[in-house]
Amino acid sequence: MPDTPGNQAEFPQNPCQKPGLGFPIARVVAVISLATACVVDAAMGPYSGKQTGETALLRKLLGAFRPRDVAVLDRYYCSFMMLALLKSRGTDVCARLHHLRKSDFRRGRRLGQYDHVIHWIRPQRPTWMDEATYASIPETIELREVRFHVVEPGRRTKVLTVVTTLTDAEEFSKEDIAELYGYRWHVELDIRSIRQNLNLDHLRCKSPKMIRTEFRTTLLAYNLIRSVSATGAFLTGQKPRHVSFTGTCQYVLHSWLMLSLGHVPVSRLETYCRQTLKLIAQCKVGHRPGRIEPRVIKRRKETYKLMMKPRDVLKAELRKHCT
């Protein structure tokens, strides 16, 4: 975000950068619907400081989860307290095992090959949790641990271990758990759409209050576009995630132009909207399994040197040389 005193006071820059050389940075955690890709809720906080990490921001969003929901989480959130807090709300969890936790499939109740039920023991009370909340946390929670292999052509086989509260093996098979966690990558693509298509990678307002307004307004626009694509998918019997977000944005902008110029009479408004929704539904996301792309760029762009001194110092040096 812009380097203003107000933004720096509430959202400090990276401490590794010298004053005047960096930008204020905010950390954001979002809960996104797997079915429609809409943002259910989001929390924003400073880049660094106490209770500003991703898990702390996610705890502020626990109200977004409802009973019988299933939260598909990254391995960073796979902790006893997070799983226990979600389970206390009646929400099931499917998360990749944290890299600091070791799994032993010789223990627990065996359900199949690399599939068993185990119990996690409650750790000591963390500093951020009050004693009343800690007392309400059960001493043990029953979890299911599943290990499976991801095989993609041209890549090495990847081994993943997933922890879930869906312990009923008859209702949820090992393949079901693997397929469910495979959908987690969708959230990375959704965040990319928000950052790139809607230009939310760099906010432009100069005060913290307006920064939050810009952030929430952009999420509102994102949800409206996703709602339009979901409506088009519903009319044509498709899944919302099969409709392209970029294609929907283009059709929405074109329809706004047509309506604002008065090219669509009121008598044909409903017919025009239905036709537009059907055209949006035809913009399908490409199915590219096993896609491999090197992380390099081909296009050469002219770039300026990095700013290694504050702007005021550089301006003074320019004036000195000019005189």
Confidence of residue 4 (pLDDT cuts 50, 70, 90): very high
Distance CA 210, CA 33 (A): 26
Rounded to an integer, the average pLDDT of 120-135 is 93
Give per-residue pLDDT as tens, 150-190.
776 655 558 899 999 999 999 999 999 999 998 998 999 99
Distance CA 107, CA 118 (A): 7
Distance CA 5, CA 27 (A): 18
Predicted local confidence at residue 235, as pLDDT = 92
Distance CA 262, CA 273 (A): 14
Give per-residue pLDDT as tens, 181-204.
989 989 999 999 999 899 898 999
What percent of the chain lies above the pLDDT cut of 70? Answer: 96
Q: Which of 74, 69, 21 is nearest to 306 (CA)?
A: 21
Predicted local confidence at residue 285, as pLDDT = 85
Give per-residue pLDDT as tens, 223-240.
999 999 999 999 999 999
pLDDT at 292 over 70: no
Mean pLDDT, the chain, rounded, equals: 90
pLDDT at 21 over 90: no
**CA geometry: angle 63, 66, 72, nearest 5 deg:** 90
Contact 71, 65 (CB under 8 A): yes
Least confident of 69-73, 119-123, 272-276, 291-295: 291-295
Helix axis angle for 245-260 and 269-281, nearest 10°, is: 160
Predicted local confidence at residue 144, as pLDDT = 96
